[in-house]
A = this chain, B = another copy of it.
């Protein structure tokens, strides 16, 4: 597999090297440093089918408008909603979620109703972002690890002014082709950082995002310029905290001392099977303390706004540890008959209960309505976000003058544009070259690339000397040496894969790699599948294929893995390159032969009612008849 990994590395990096179509077509004034800010994100990735085209191109004219120059944090904190307006804003979030789930008759209203207060405080008072450029490099990152509650995030993106989630998008929740699929998908919705839903992935992604920030800050910040400086916030639920992947990633976050990672544990005592008492009675906060985290408990997450604010302030003051804020909430808060029960977890409330909830929370408005004062309050994020970015741009211009070489390197990571001629650094092999183990050749390539690809960073799940993945010119990324590039993941394959997804999606110039024995892809398939689906571009260095392992025996000998892994990664390729649709990969070809026709699936699915998907994918009575008649 090592040979494959090298090929994959080359291909992954090559795909990022040239200017992307969008970038090439950009007007001249957007090149240079403007390119850095406006194209930092999906713009430099491979093109997607029309329905998936990201709305990444921020309005440059808007950014040329006069901007508010006030220092950002103080501005945000000084303008916090209070009293009635605050309650109204929080209830707006709740009802946008209730209404969208009700209209779709599908989804999870309970979490948004319970987490609306912390969501409001994060997006309205705490986080720094520019809604008109979701890919601004120095933005705070937010991850909804409990991805089923995605209407919380869509409501917040909508209020904050993101163009990706307009009113019509909320009304299209979970429908074919919408920007608001059933779980957060970064490739669908600008403003969504990573793809979550399978529980535990998101918190591990958040660890990767926070690692990326700590690494870049250590490499590029100067005593007179903190050019990299953002937080990573995450909301995770009981389900995430039960998953082993979360423990793996959080153990590493504690080990690395990721002080700018702040996770909110939505402690609502309800999972799909009922009260968490039936399966989850551990002391979560004590566990996180054992993992090296700072922990805080907000006992009333339903309307203890000041407690939430104070907890975030305290979390920021602890700079050498990540913080878990356990926020006790009521799932489905406000629903008189369904709050605090599993029935509000994953189903629409039903029109009667929606009405009862409107009465209970004093919400006289029609569905999807955003009161004018709430709208007006949130509208400031557009100019303030532009100001935040403009401030940072000015800061970067100063930085570039003083530290031109570092600025060039940082730009490469921010934009994903590789230095010219990078591929020349690769070792050359000829038929006359001495034979060698593929994993040794892999290491030669990784080491050659590390010199010219500034975002290449990674490591192994405790098998570095077997996988041959050490970058010899660098030390270990550790708590006190975060500028280094060898990451020691320990024996934590699943967490490793998901952390690498987070690193990859932090900035387009990151090229994370991770390694283990090929058979242990069994432990991290969940993360690998999301790498493929979300185009995270992680390089998997998987060594020790097949019975060639010898003595370690059948538990260590991968037999079925190459085909299975190819299938997973090919799904995304198939979705993008129809020329491949007839290939290496599915079950019926053997029987139907080259001239046969199969009606089936050869790509990932999508979010929509089932009937609609069958129709869009051509799995219908009509298509079967047509295929039969065509012979």
Contact = CB atoms under 8 A, between A and B. Distances in A.
Interface of A: 104, 106-107, 147, 174, 181-183, 185, 195-199, 238-240, 242-248, 251-252, 254-255, 271-273, 276, 278-284, 286-287, 289-292, 460, 462-466, 476, 478, 488-492, 494-495, 519-520, 522-523, 525-526, 529-530, 533, 546-557, 559-560, 563-564, 567-568, 571, 584, 586-587, 589-590, 601, 603-614, 617
Nearest to A533: B554
Nearest to A173: B551
B272 A239 contact: no
A199 B560 CA distance: 20
A254 to B, nearest CB: 6
Given A272-B462, A550-B609, 18 more contacts: A185-B553, A198-B519, A198-B522, A199-B491, A243-B244, A255-B282, A273-B465, A278-B476, A283-B292, A287-B290, A523-B525, A547-B610, A547-B614, A553-B605, A553-B606, A554-B604, A560-B568, A563-B567
Given A244-B495, A519-B198, A601 B462 contact: no
Contacts of A601: 546-547, 559
B586 A563 contact: yes
Contacts of A567: 560, 563-564
A605 B607 CA distance: 40
Contact of A246 (B104, B244, B255, B278): B244
10 contacts: A198-B556, A242-B490, A251-B282, A255-B282, A272-B462, A272-B465, A278-B490, A523-B525, A550-B609, A560-B571
Contacts of A608: 550-551
Given A273-B460, A281-B255, A564-B567, A549 B290 contact: no
A242 B523 CA distance: 13
A240 B244 CA distance: 12
Contact of A278 (B272, B488, B584): B488
Nearest to A108: B552
A557 to B, nearest CB: 4
Contacts of A238: 491
A497 to B, nearest CB: 11
A130 B287 CA distance: 40
A492 B242 contact: yes
A183 B492 contact: no
Given A547-B601, A547-B605, A198 B287 contact: no
A554 B606 contact: yes
A255 to B, nearest CB: 5
Nearest to A528: B522
Interface centre among A147, A490, A548 (most CB of B within 10 A): A490
A613 B549 CA distance: 10
A462 B610 contact: no
Contact of A273 (B290, B463, B610): B463
A463 B494 CA distance: 22
Nearest to A197: B555
Given A556-B197, A559-B571, A490 B549 contact: no
B273 A609 contact: no
A462 B290 contact: no
